Amino acid sequence: MANETPLVNGTRHSWASVELNIMGRVVTGVTEISYSDTQTKENIYGAGKYPVARGRGNYEATASITLLSYEVDAIQTAAGEGKRLQDIEPFDIVVTYLKEGQSELVTHYIRDCEFTNNAREMAQGDTSISVSLELTPSHIKWS
């Protein structure tokens, strides 16, 4: 995927260079995304005081996203009449950005995501409505 994101004020690697694609569409109303993965690792002991091997356990990926309400409404509409966000089939989120000092795009794939919640919070004085959503991904492909 080619992206001609311009260099602005000497900075390439910033929120301004992040692009998200959810369910086949570029999402502009995203204010935050967080994703990580972990794998359990444990030393295995035998004779002596030092580990003789290392065991590996389960892999777990987690993710969350904060969208402006118009994006959530668009996703909800695309899901179809009577469907909740939690009813949407698993989808990938593609995150791309430029590394500082490089011209190549970095692309991360958050695979097989499903929404686990749908809520709104608004307060007097708010100038926009942000919606924080938890995701359950199967795994993350780091580039």
Domain limits, the chain: 15-36+61-141
Q: Which residues contact 117 (CB under 8 A, 6 or more apart)?
A: 85, 86, 133, 134
78-81-85-88 Cα dihedral, nearest 10 degrees: -70
> In this structure, what token pair is assigned to residue 120?
């709104």
pLDDT of residue 8: 47
Q: Which residues contact 60 (CB under 8 A, 6 or more apart)?
A: 37, 38, 39
pLDDT of residue 5: 53
Phi and psi at residue 111, to the nearest 5°:
-90, 145
- Consecutive 10-residue runs of the chain (143 residues): their mean pLDDT? 50 70 87 96 98 98 97 91 94 86 85 96 95 98 92
Phi and psi at residue 87, to the nearest 5°:
-90, -10
Q: d(Cα 134, Cα 24) in Å, to the nearest integer?
A: 19
Q: Among candidates 78, 68, 77, 88, which has minimal Cα distance to 20?
A: 68
**Which superfamily does 15-36+61-141 belong to?**
Hcp1-like (2.30.110.20)
pLDDT of residue 1: 44
56-96-84-72 Cα dihedral, nearest 10 degrees: 140
**Model confidence, pTM:** 0.83
pLDDT of residue 99: 74
